[in-house]
Amino acid sequence: MSKFRVGVIGAGSIAQSHLTAYSKNPEVELVAVADMNLERAQSAADEFGARRAYADPQDLLADPEIDGVSICTWNNSHASWAIAAIEAGKHVLVEKPIARTLAEAEQLQQVVEASDRVVQVGFVRRHSPNCQVLKSFIDAEELGEIYYAKASCMRRVGNPGGWFADKEISGGGPLLDIGIHVLDLCWYLMGSPKVASVSGNTYDKLGSRGNVTTMPRYKAADYDPSRNTVEDLANAVIRFENGASLLLDCSYSLHATEDSIDVSVYGEKGGAVLEPALHIATEMHDSVVNIEPQIASRSFEFGIGFANEIQNFVDASLGRAESIAPAWHGVEIVRILEAIYESAAEGREISLV
C-alpha cells in the first residue's frame, strides 16, 4: 500500500510534535515543511526527513504529491489555511483552536461541509490512553448519565509571552491556550452536549509577570515580557440543553501555592477524575469503591497522545475510521469560548439557544 503523504505548515514548537509523530509512523511519508522563515522550514525538513521546504505555504498546498497537511501556525491563520488546504484537495489536521472567533470557525465549517475532505482538530488530549480508557467506561454506561463536570488548569507564572500574549494574533489568553484543553476533555467525555448558556468572567490583574525570574516557564520564540493584551484568568459556568453543567477556570498568572489541573466528570452511577491522574469512583454492594485502571500512565502521555492523534488522522483520511475530533467539535468549543468572553465583557449570562 502506498504511504499517506504529508506536509506540515508551520515549523514552531507544536509542529515539532506533529513532525515527530509523522516521522515515526510507518504509513506516512513526510513530503514538505513550510514556514515563513525558510531557514527554519529547511532545518525541520532536514531533521525529520522531508524532501522539500517552502517559505510560502501556498507552494506546499500546490504540491500534487501531498495528500494531507497539519496546520501548526499562529491562531490567527488556522481557519484561513485550513480553508485553503481543503480547496487544494488536502485532508487537514488543524491545531486548536480551530479559529479565533466563531465567525471564522463557521466559515470554515461551511467549506468542510461542502467538501469530502477529512478535517480534524488538534485536541490531542482526547487521544491519550487515560482519556480513551475513561471514554470506554462512559460509553458502556458504567458512570450513567453525566450531569456535572469540572475543568481547571491553573498556572502561577505561565504566560508564554510573544504571540500567545497578543490578542490580535492569539484571539485570547489562557482560555484559548490551556483552558480549551480541559474544557474540550470534559465536553467530549460528557458526550458533546449542546450548550444552552454561559456565564463567565475574565481578569487582567497581573499581566505577564515577566518580573518573576526564579521559576521556569515556557517562552514563545518571540518572547517579550512587556507585550501582553490577554487575560490572566478566566472562569465560567456552562449549562447544557440536557441539564448538565460544567465549571471551568484557567489561568496564566494567579497567586496560587502551586500549578494545578483538574478534569473531572460525575454521573448517576459513578464519577471519575481524568487529570492529574485517572481514578474512577462508583458504588458496589452498598459500598463506595474506587477503581484504578491498570495502564502505563494514568496521566496525559504527550508522545503517545500525538502518535495516536496522527494515526487517527491517517486512518480517517484513508477511510478506515472516523475522526474522534471532527471540525464541528472545534466549532462548538469556539462557540463556548466566545460566549465566555462575551459574558465577561457584558457582565451577564449569554443564552445560546
**CATH for 53:** 3.40.50.720
Q: Is residue 223 part of a domain?
A: yes
Residue with cell 491519550: 128
- Give pLDDT tens digits for 34-62: 999 999 999 999 999 999 999 999 999 99
Same domain membership, residue 253 and residue 153: yes
Q: Is residue 147 part of a domain?
A: yes
Same domain membership, residue 312 and residue 257: no
The domain tally of the chain equals 2
Same domain membership, residue 279 and residue 138: yes
- Give pLDDT tens digits for 228-283: 999 999 999 999 999 999 999 999 999 999 999 999 999 999 999 999 999 999 99
* pTM: predicted TM-score of the whole model, two decimal places: 0.96
- Give pLDDT tens digits for 136-183: 999 999 999 999 999 999 999 999 999 999 999 999 999 999 999 999
- Give pLDDT tens digits for 210-236: 899 898 888 888 888 888 999 999 999
Same domain membership, residue 115 and residue 134: no
Q: Is residue 253 part of a domain?
A: yes
Same domain membership, residue 286 and residue 275: yes
**CATH for 181:** 3.30.360.10
Q: Is residue 107 part of a domain?
A: yes
Same domain membership, residue 205 and residue 78: no
Residues in the chain: 353
The strand ranges marked E within the chain are: 4-9, 28-34, 52-54, 68-71, 91-95, 119-122, 146-154, 195-203, 233-240, 245-251, 260-267, 270-275, 279-284, 287-291, 350-351
Q: How many CB atoms lie within 10 A of CB 146?
A: 23
Identify whether the C-beta of residue 40 lies closer than 8 Å to the C-beta of residue 26: no
Same domain membership, residue 169 and residue 200: yes
Section 109-116 average pLDDT: 98
∠ Cα 214 218 224 (to 5°): 85
Range of the domain at 90: 4-123+307-322
- Which amino acid is it at 135? K
Same domain membership, residue 112 and residue 37: yes
Section 3-23 average pLDDT: 97
Q: How far apart, in whole angstroms, are the C-alpha atoms of residue 331 and residue 349?
A: 20
Q: Is residue 327 part of a domain?
A: no
